[in-house]
Structure 1
Amino acid sequence: MSDTNENSPYVFDFLADDVVAERNAVATAEGTVCDAEELSDINIDGSVCLVTGFGKCARVLAERLASWGADVIVMARRPKQRSDAALIGYKVMSFEDIPIYRHILSEVDFCFNTVPARVVCEDILSLLSRHAVVIDIASMPGGVDFDYCKEHDIPYKHSLGIPGKLSPKTSGMILADAVVEAVSAHR
């Protein structure tokens, strides 16, 4: 809320609302998988998927991938994120572990970046399997070295605005519900 005066405008940041973020994460995860499958000739089932980061979107994405039969690896910067991912049952590694886990990275079929900082660079991309697909859902400018992908014929996509593109009706309903909730709470 920007002001308590009854006649002043009411401001609500929907992107900061946990309910909106969690519901949007579902649409984002589903769209991310669709984008990956468009670029690949293999199924998610039986694949090895690397998910960088372990925030709201990454958590839902990892859950979806695992439920569809993928072997999920979570690479996260923060120890708490790695611990949370390990407790769920995912393989985990930090970005500092890349040299140690070369053999695991060489088996990755799909790399999904959710980190809004340049983290998926040559040190990771050069180790992925030769048919790996890279999908980046991080906000601009993304977290993947797209130039490296292009130079080495790695199929990639920077997937932005997935909820509105993939499921505009559901996304609209999420925002409408949030508006109704915000207005009700403001009264």
Structure 2
Amino acid sequence: MLTGLTILFVGGDARQIEVINKCVEMDATVRVVGFDRLESPLIGVSHETLTPGLLAGADVVVLPVMGCDDHGVISAPFSTGEVVIRNEMFAAIREGVLVYTGISKSFLKKMSMEYGFRLIELLERDDVAIYNSIPTAEGAVMMAIQNTDITIHGSSCIVLGIGRTGFTLAETLKGLGATVKVGVRREDHVARAVQMGWKPFATTDLALYAGEIDLIFNTIPTMIVTAQIISKLPRQAVIIDLASAPGGTDFRFAEKRGIKALLAPGLPGIVAPKTAGIIIANSLCQSIMEEFHIRGDEE
């Protein structure tokens, strides 16, 4: 249980609601900012206005999956106004306090270094990333179906990168009857691709495989689907880029050539916010219990 801990949630989308509810169930004292526009009110929480005093009183601070931008603006779709944590507010967070987010940009990391709070990026955890790869793969398939006039079954697909997301996606596409080629950079990934029944190739040779492809799914967060690659694609090909913004595709050239290219980061929160929220909630609560040395069998 999280009895005795004060957890402050600042902003967040539908995923965060699942996390909030989980913390309430585990008997934490839960305070929230940025949830005043919900159709169904949250039970067991106190709605607050963001102040330095509120931050100073928190044992744990939970930010949205995307943290905040370089001006401290926090995504709060359920708020009637803008939610911003300014520098002086970060200074109010006690040294050593846990501040959770999904992924953080340079500004948030800088604030952590400057003011001494402990920044924990949940999406960097293997368990969260692997679980999240399931709704990501389903969302990518959904986008492919919506944006093509062919079936996945029998299509020719390329998956670039077989990390945690690419692996699940490649297996999902294969299960739907697609021919799956995977672009890899490491010899162990070549071996894994062969073992899984995919067709591996070096990402540096992508141009050699671009001429007869229906769908490209990119998970690599560096420019890889370049103008040179796009110029070789069939007109009906579709690119679905799952990497963090700005992605790894030359979207300008794709538009110029008439190739449909879609940037689609954060699919779990779009296609399955409840499932994605439960994944984050379980990981967050487990992490808090570990950090505060709370025994799991005390629940």
Whether 1:51 and 2:51 are equivalent positions in the alignment is no
Q: In 2 relative to 1, CA 161–98 (structure 1 residues): closer, same or farther, beyond 3 Å?
A: closer
- Kept in 2: contact 1:39–1:156 (CA 8 A): no
Is the partner of 1:135 in helix, strand or coil? strand
Amino acid at match of 1:67: G
1:21-60 aligned at under 5 Å gives the runs: 21-60=129-168
Aligned-pair identity (%): 37
Cα distance between partner residues in 2 of 1:72 and 1:78 = 18
Cα distance between partner residues in 2 of 1:63 and 1:57 = 10
Q: Which has the higher strand share?
A: 2
> For 1:9, which of 59, 84, 97 is the aligned residue?
97
For structure 1, the residue ranges without an aligned partner over 5 or more in a row are 1-6
TM superposition shift of 1:68? 0.3
Structure 1 vs Structure 2 CA RMSD: 1.6
- Kept in 2: contact 1:112–1:134 (CA 8 A): yes
Amino acid at match of 1:143: G
- Kept in 2: contact 1:45–1:70 (CA 8 A): yes
TM-score by length of 2: 0.57
TM superposition shift of 1:146? 0.5
Cα distance between partner residues in 1 of 2:227 and 2:186 = 21
Residue by residue over 1:109-149, the C-alpha shift from the partner in whole angstroms, topping out at 9 and shown as x without a partner, is 00001110000113322222221111001112110111111
> For 1:168, which of 273, 284, 287 is the aligned residue?
273
Residue by residue over 1:89-124, the C-alpha shift from the partner in whole angstroms, topping out at 9 and shown as x without a partner, is 11111133245x3xx432210000111000011332
> For 2:283, which of 162, 174, 178 is the aligned residue?
178
> For 1:93, which of 198, 201, 207 is the aligned residue?
201
72-81 vs 16-25, greater mean Cα deviation: 72-81
Cα distance between partner residues in 1 of 2:96 and 2:160 = 42
Is the partner of 1:75 in helix, strand or coil? strand
Amino acid at match of 1:72: V
Q: Corresponding residue for 1:108? A: 213
Cα distance between partner residues in 2 of 1:146 and 1:81 = 28
Q: Corresponding residue for 2:257? A: 152
Amino acid at match of 1:86: V
- Kept in 1: contact 2:183–2:206 (CA 8 A): no
1:69-88 aligned at under 5 Å gives the runs: 69-88=177-196
Cα distance between partner residues in 1 of 2:205 and 2:261 = 23
TM superposition shift of 1:8? 4.2
Of structures 1 and 2, the one scoring higher in RCO (CA 8 A, sep 6+) is 1
Is the partner of 1:92 in helix, strand or coil? strand
Cα distance between partner residues in 1 of 2:168 and 2:219 = 11
TM superposition shift of 1:77? 2.4
Amino acid at match of 2:250: D
Q: Corresponding residue for 1:138? A: 243
- Kept in 1: contact 2:220–2:243 (CA 8 A): yes
126-135 vs 25-34, greater mean Cα deviation: 126-135
Is the partner of 1:149 in helix, strand or coil? helix
Q: Corresponding residue for 1:121? A: 226
Amino acid at match of 1:121: T
Is the partner of 1:51 in helix, strand or coil? strand
Highest Rg: 1 or 2?
2
Cα distance between partner residues in 2 of 1:105 and 1:89 = 20
